[in-house]
Amino acid sequence: MGSKKHKKESKKRKHRSRSRSPLDGEEREKKRHKKHRDRKKDRSPDVEEVPVDSHLPPDNGVSSGSRSSSLSVRDPRDSKPREDAYRDNSQESERAPSPAAAGSSAQESLSIEETNKLRAKLGLKPLEVAEKQAEDGKIKDDLGEFYHKPAANLSQQRAADKLRERLELRREKRQLENKLQTTLLADGSEDEDASGWIKKSRDLEKQKREAAKRAAMLDELDEEFGVGALLADDRRESRERAYAPTQLRGLRVAHDFAALPDERETVLTLADKDVLAEDSEDVLVNVNIVDDEKYKKNIEERKKARAGYRAYDEEAELATALGLERSVLSKYDDEIDADAKLRSRGFRLGDQAALEAERAREAMRAERLAGGPDKRLESLQLPELRIASDYLDEEEMQIKFKKVKRKGKIRKKPKQEPIDVDEHEAGTAPLETDDTEVKPEQLWAADEDEVEVDTELQAALARARRLRLAERAEHKAEVDEILQQPKEEPPEVDASDASAMVLDATAEFCRTLGDIPTYGLAGNRDHLAEIMDFERDEVEAEPEVDTNSGAWSRVDVDSEKPADIAAGAAGGLEAEPALGAGVAGALRLALSKGYLERAGAAPAPRPRTAAALTAHHYSIEDKTYGEDDKHGRRERGGHSGPLSEFREKNNFRPNIKLEYVDDDGRPLCPKEAFRYLSHKFHGKGPGKNKQEKRIKKAVQEGLMKKMSSTDTPLGTLQMLQQKQRETQSPFVVLSGAKRDANN
């Protein structure tokens, strides 16, 4: 690496030396000398650049002129020896042709000495090499203006701290040792060894035995003189004297009197009390009763907590209504000064008066609760409110209502007076309209659900009509007069006698049903015919009101032939074809029964029988109830809505088979159907080619269907079989066609 670099530098050097004109002649001379010397020294000028000391560390290398100088800056104290070293090296560095080539870097720097020389030549003062150290150890900064306080040595400080700490610790330890200078237990005791200890224990044992012996001896002496019994008595007496019921007088028992079980001994103990309490008195308690009370209290509190927040608690409401203070969130209520309450609870031993008073109070309370002979306790609590339900619950289901027996008609006609025709003036033409409140609205308002009402209505109508007929006979003359009057009576008035019609549910049903095929066949329906006849008799003049009145269309009974009941079979279902002899008969029957499907039958043929079954006198308009009819609405007084409730047909499952056929009647698959409809919709059919293609396809399909599955299209098999039959052989000779044909 070195060689390459140096080659480069040599070039540079040449260049530089050429350009260096303004240098002092003297210096140049000197340098030339140097060069000369170098050349002398070195054998080959090419290898010259490769420094001899390239293997040396760089600090005393050729190029380190600047480096050495910088070193000398760093520690100017030993600049002398360095400079000496430099001088030693300078001989090597002098090999370099110019100072510019001195460093491996492009920098050139003169040493201090050289610089000083230069400065002297330039008339400048020499470099201030040594920085003057201030006497007080403070260091001046670069410009010599400010003094710096030397930074504290942290490591020294830390070491000092550590030392000081250790010293302190030692001192403290010493002090403690001085303080605790006592003889240890082991040091002071004498029985250091086992033998000493054994001896000691034996001594103790001996002393004990002697003492026991002495006591026994004394006891014996007492027995002899009868002192023992005396002593025992004495002791008991003294104890009794010390502890009598009187001693317990005034001591408080912290339980209610009732809490103490009767007829049983209860052991009471002195309750624990605070040592520091000033006004503490001794209280007797029973541990079990205390536990019970605590348990009860806990339960109560838990109950309260479980109840939670009840904003509309009834008890609370009641309390507020009575003027008591209402407690909010009472579960958080704590007894204030519960201790005081506890302290006053219970009773005092020997305080008979208080006990009696308590007992009396109890009795009074019980009496009040039980009430007097004329008192009855009644709770103000109302039955709990419940949300009303739409459905019966089980309890309600079980309740059976007593069925009230209906007596006669419940509904009475509100003030229906038969119209007195006499009251009317002749000019008002009372006969012109039927004023017996039989209005068409009412007629068509008659619903099948209100059959009962209808019968009532019909009865009333019939009565009125009969009355009218009777009256008309009487007032025939009047009628004539009326007829004379300018206003022409419509001709129907007279003719209506016969064509009057009565509507009731039964009649309507019969008519809409059409002819009942089997009706009266059994010959047991004569009475019904009678009824109908009767009705026909009863029918009376019903003047034709405007035909446009409502959506109700009238049926002119007379103009139509009444249903011929006897003719039964004619109108209804087809007669069942008789199962005659032969397959044809059977097939016909099957077809009629629907066992067989007629080939090429219409997709949804509407049987003739169905047409026969539908009502002839039925039109859709009949059922519209005149919803958008002003007349009807006015009559009903504004509350509109259908008179029969809307019933959803839950069980309506229409059997729909959606099929499309094309113009030729061929069934179409959905795809084709769509195409067909689409063509129709857009009014633009397929092209000619497409149409031909489709026709061809259809024809092909037809052929395919017609094709025999057992034979070829040309009937080869049949021919073969025929041939075999002719030749009476199980084979056929296949040979030349012509010869065979000739044969």
Q: How far apart are the first and last CA of the chain?
A: 119
Query: What are phi and psi for residue 252, nearest 5 degrees?
Result: -90, 135
Return the range that interacts with other proteins (CB under 8 A); candidates 106-114, 314-322, 509-517, 623-631: 106-114
Q: Which stretch binds other proteins (CB under 8 A): 14-22, 152-160, 270-278, 490-498?
A: 14-22
Tell me which residues in 393-452 interact with other proteins (CB under 8 A): none
Binding map of other proteins across residues 645-684, x = CB under 8 A, - = no contact:
----------------------------------------
Applying CB under 8 A, which part among 20-28, 310-318, 415-423, 672-680 lies near other proteins? 20-28
Pairwise CA distance, residues 106 & 714, whole Å = 114
**For the purposes of burial, counting CB atoms within 10 Å of the CB of 145, is it exposed (0-12), middle (13-18) or buried (19 or more)?**
exposed
Q: Looking at 1, 106, 473, 601, which residue binds other proteins (CB under 8 A)?
A: 106
With CB under 8 A as the contact rule, the residue among 13, 50, 56, 119 that binds other proteins is: 119
Closest approach of other proteins to the CB of residue 148, in Å: 15
Q: Whose Cβ is closer to other proteins: residue 112's or residue 461's?
A: 112
Q: Which is nearer to other proteins, 74 or 341 (CB)?
A: 74
* From candidates 47, 52, 84, 118, binder to other proteins by CB under 8 A: 118
Binding mask 256-295 for other proteins (x = CB under 8 A): ----------------------------------------
Q: Which is nearer to other proteins, 144 or 371 (CB)?
A: 144
Q: Are 92 and 52 in contact (CB under 8 A)?
A: yes
Give which of 666, 659, 661, 663 is closest to 699, Cα–Cα: 666
The least distance separating other proteins from the CB of residue 143, rounded to whole angstroms, comes to: 5
Distances (CA, A) of 597 to 283, 509, 578, 600: 110, 35, 19, 9
Report, in Å, the least distance between residue 109 CB and other proteins.
4
Tell me which of 62, 96, 101, 112 binds other proteins, using CB under 8 A: 112
Which is closer to other proteins, CB of 70 or CB of 644? 70
φ and ψ of 347, to 5 deg: -145, 170
Q: Which is nearer to other proteins, 76 or 571 (CB)?
A: 76
In the structure encoding, which two tokens stand for residue 734, read together?
């296949």
Contact segment (CB under 8 A) with other proteins among 118-126, 361-369, 443-451, 723-731 equals 118-126
Q: Are 551 and 620 in contact (CB under 8 A)?
A: no
Q: Which is nearer to other proteins, 123 or 683 (CB)?
A: 123
Q: Which residue, 144 or 261, has its beta carbon nearer to other proteins?
A: 144
List of long-range contacts for 452-461, beta carbons under 8 Å, 24+ apart: 453/411, 454/504, 454/505, 455/504, 456/409, 456/411, 456/413, 458/502, 458/504, 460/413, 460/416, 461/436, 461/502
Residues 122-181 touching other proteins, rule: CB under 8 A, are: 122, 124-125, 127-129, 142-144
CB of residue 116 to other proteins, shortest distance in Å? 9
Give the footprint of other proteins on residues 330-359 (CB under 8 A): none
Listed in sequence order, the residues at least 6 apart from 532 whose beta carbon sits closer than 8 Å to its beta carbon are 562
* Min separation Cβ 128 and other proteins, Å: 5
Q: What is the dihedral of CA 507, 513, 517, 520, to 10 degrees?
A: -20
- State the burial class of residue 692 (Cβ atoms within 10 Å of its Cβ: 0-12, 13-18, 19+): exposed
User: d(Cα 407, Cα 316) in Å, to the nearest integer?
Assistant: 53
Determine if residue 434 is left, alpha or beta; phi over 0 gives left, psi from -120 to 50 gives alpha, anything else beta: beta
In the set 71, 85, 110, 516, which binds other proteins (CB under 8 A)? 110
Q: How far is the CB of 54 from other proteins (least distance, A)?
A: 22
By beta-carbon proximity to other proteins, the closer residue of 103 and 550 is: 103
Residues 597-616: x where in contact with other proteins by CB under 8 A, - otherwise, as a string:
--------------------
Q: What is the DSSP letter of 565?
A: G
Q: Which two tokens stand for residue 124?
A: 């400048």
Q: Which is nearer to other proteins, 124 or 159 (CB)?
A: 124
Q: Which is nearer to other proteins, 3 or 70 (CB)?
A: 70
For other proteins, the closer CB: 69 or 89: 69
Number of residues that bind other proteins (CB under 8 A): 32
Q: 70 or 724: whose CB is closer to other proteins? A: 70
SS3 sequence, 369-418? HHCCCCCCCCCCCCCCCCCCCCCCCHHHHHCCCCCCCCCCCCCCCCCCCC
Q: How far is the CB of 28 from other proteins (least distance, A)?
A: 10
Q: Compare residues 127 and 364 and give the one whose CB is closer to other proteins.
A: 127
With vertex at residue 124, the alpha carbon angle to CA 121 and CA 128, rounded to the nearest 5 degrees, is 120
By CB under 8 A, tell whether 26 contacts other proteins. no
Side-chain-side CA neighbours of 606 within 13 Å: the count stands at: 5
Per-position x/- string for 62-101, each x denoting binding to other proteins as judged by CB under 8 A, each - no binding? ----x--xx--x-------------------------xx-
The string of DSSP letters for 24-76 reads -HHHHHHHHHHHHHHHHH-S-TTGGGS-TTTTS-GGGSTTTHHHHHHHHHH--
Q: Which residue ranges make up the site for other proteins (CB under 8 A)?
A: 12, 19-23, 66, 69-70, 73, 99-100, 105-110, 112, 115, 118-119, 121-122, 124-125, 127-129, 142-144
